[in-house]
Structure formats: C-alpha cells, structure tokens
C-alpha cells in the first residue's frame, strides 16, 4: 500500500490553530490514515482495504475490543506553542517524541500567558487541584491580570539584564516564570494519542491543556475520521463500571424488560440489532 494521502488533512497542513492568548497547534506531518489501520489489521491473512462500510466496521471492532497495535501504525507530528506550565503536564505522556526550543541555545521571547478574566477564580472547595467555576468579579480579575503582567515584565527585564552581563543563557533563563511560552515538535502514534486525549479532555484536567487537547482532537479527525469517531463513541462518551455497579444494574433490569422493550429502547438510543445484543451480553456475561 502506497503512502496515504488524506485530502482533509492536506488542507490543514502547517495551518496554525490558535489556542489561549498567544499559543497555537499546527499539523506538521502525518503517516497513515484509516486505510493504514485496516491494512495493518488484515495483513495477517492477506486482505487489504475493502468497502467503506467494512472498513468502518473493522475499525470500530478493533477499538471496541482494544486491539491497539493497528492504531500504532498511524503517526502524527504537531508543532505546538504553549505555556511552560501546560508543557510540564503534557510531557508526562512519555510515549511521544519531543524536540523543544532550547533556552541554552536561543534567547527566549518576551511572550507570556495571561489568563482571561473568566479564567481567574478562587481555589475550588471540592477539587483540591482545580479552580472554582465562578470567576472573580471583573474589577478583581483585572487587578490580578495587572499584577501577573507586572511580574512577567519584571522577570523578562531581569532576564535581559543578566544576558547583558554575559551570563550564560542556560542560567539567565531560570528567572523566567512558568507562564512563559515555549515551542516544540511533538510526535505520537494514534493509539497513544488517544490515551493522551482521553486524559486531557477529561473535565478534571486543567482548562488550559483541555483547550489544546480539543484542537488536537479536531485535527486528528481530519487524518483518521473513522478511528476518531470510534474513539469518541467508545472512549470519550463511554464509561467504565465496576463489578458491583454491574451487579446493581443487573438487579435493576432483571425481568423488567421484554425483548420488545430492549429493541425499542436500544433503537431509540441509536443502537443496531447487533449492538443491542452486545449490550445485553455485557450485562449478563
């Protein structure tokens, strides 16, 4: 099978998609597509791409049953500009290949993230690691913005002064705050990218990284629309239940739904006949 060319992905290559106040994400390159996934899955018995419907069914089957290696055949490379505090969360996903701008070789730019008024809130009383949903009053928020900008300006001024003394760049940079912007090339296969998106699109993730993850998701849909449709269905919109929760659900449904009830409610939710059968098997297996 030749190199995969996906028109919808080609349309956005090197296009910057803005994130936050000064950041962006752009797709630099991609290897593979939905076609590569099915080709890899079928290679064991010598059959390649079939009809669109068959390919879609196979991709959904692979994701539903956690056959992950075919998804690793697809690789995406992004150029990302992001605040350092977001990068520190992002880099915890260790399966990526990363090349970041170096403050040892380059003079870092005078660019810092300043949160919008709606993002300035008190510490949440329910979530120890997050902020409250209600932002500060506008006048309080503007005062906070001014103090943040003042601190950023002062730190960059000190940075320039230290460089002016001929201090090494690798030492001068340590005065810069976590709000400074950095840039990197970030490459990851589709299987691990899905794991990144699962965690970073979760409502418990910090808003700033969620915004980047949403753009990554939208771009990846251009490369592998079927795979990402399956990912949204089974991962983003799906839930995992415990054994006890499963038993409770069984108890609630036992002897209360007829065959016709299963059919009516299943079809009303968009499930096909086979999907209804699989749902019932999950509950009673």
In a domain, 228, yes or no: yes
Q: Do 220 and 99 fall within a single domain? A: yes
Q: Do 164 and 183 fall within a single domain? A: no
Domain count, the chain: 3
Q: Do 28 and 100 fall within a single domain? A: yes
> CA angle, 217 as apex, 271 and 220 as ends, to 5°?
95
Q: Do 14 and 133 fall within a single domain? A: no
Distance CA 105, CA 118 (A): 36
pLDDT at 285: 66
Q: Do 267 and 156 fall within a single domain? A: no
Q: Which domain holds residue 82?
A: 7-113+179-236
The predicted model scores a pTM of 0.92
pLDDT, tens digit, for every residue of 50-82?
Answer: 676 789 999 999 999 999 999 999 999 999 999
In a domain, 84, yes or no: yes
Q: Do 162 and 135 fall within a single domain? A: yes
In a domain, 2, yes or no: no
Q: Do 68 and 198 fall within a single domain? A: yes
pLDDT at 2: 67
| pLDDT category of residue 1 using cuts at 50, 70 and 90 | low
| pLDDT category of residue 210 using cuts at 50, 70 and 90 | very high
- Provide the CATH number for the domain around residue 33: 3.30.1360.170
Please indicate whether residue 36 is annotated as part of the active site: no
Q: Do 86 and 187 fall within a single domain? A: yes
Residue 49 reports pLDDT greater than 60:
no
Highest mean pLDDT among 38-42, 102-106, 255-259: 102-106
Q: What's the mean pLDDT in 167-176?
A: 98
In a domain, 1, yes or no: no
Q: Do 183 and 279 fall within a single domain? A: no
Q: Which of 147, 200, 222, 280 does the annotation list as catalytic?
A: 200
Q: Do 67 and 16 fall within a single domain? A: yes
């Amino acid at each position: 099978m030749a190199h995969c060319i996906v028109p919808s992905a080609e349309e956005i290559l090197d296009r910057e998609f803005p994130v936050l106040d000064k950041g962006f994400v752009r797709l630099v390159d991609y290897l593979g597509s939905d076609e590569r996934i099915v080709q890899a899955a079928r290679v064991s018995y010598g059959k390649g791409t079939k009809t669109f419907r068959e390919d879609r069914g196979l991709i959904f089957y692979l994701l539903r049953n956690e056959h992950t290696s075919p998804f690793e055949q697809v690789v995406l490379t992004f150029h990302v500009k992001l605040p350092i505090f977001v990068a520190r969360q992002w880099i915890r996903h260790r399966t990526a290949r990363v090349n970041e701008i170096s403050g040892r070789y380059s003079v870092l730019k005078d660019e810092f993230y300043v949160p919008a008024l709606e993002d300035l809130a008190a510490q949440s009383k329910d979530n120890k690691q997050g902020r409250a949903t209600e932002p500060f009053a506008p006048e309080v928020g503007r005062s906070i913005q001014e103090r943040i900008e003042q601190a950023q300006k002062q730190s960059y001024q000190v940075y320039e002064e230290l460089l002016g003394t001929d201090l090494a760049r690798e030492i001068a940079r340590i005065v810069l705050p976590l709000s400074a912007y950095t840039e990197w090339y970030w490459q990851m296969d589709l299987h691990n990218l899905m794991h990144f998106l699962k965690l970073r699109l979760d409502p418990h993730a910090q808003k700033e990284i969620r915004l980047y993850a949403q753009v990554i998701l939208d771009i990846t849909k251009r490369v592998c629309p079927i795979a990402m449709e399956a990912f949204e269905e089974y991962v983003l919109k799906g839930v995992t239940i415990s054994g006890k929760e499963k038993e409770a659900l069984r108890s609630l449904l036992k002897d209360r739904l007829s065959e016709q009830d299963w059919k009516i409610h299943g079809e009303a939710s968009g499930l096909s006949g086979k999907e209804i059968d699989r749902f019932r098997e999950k509950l009673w297996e």
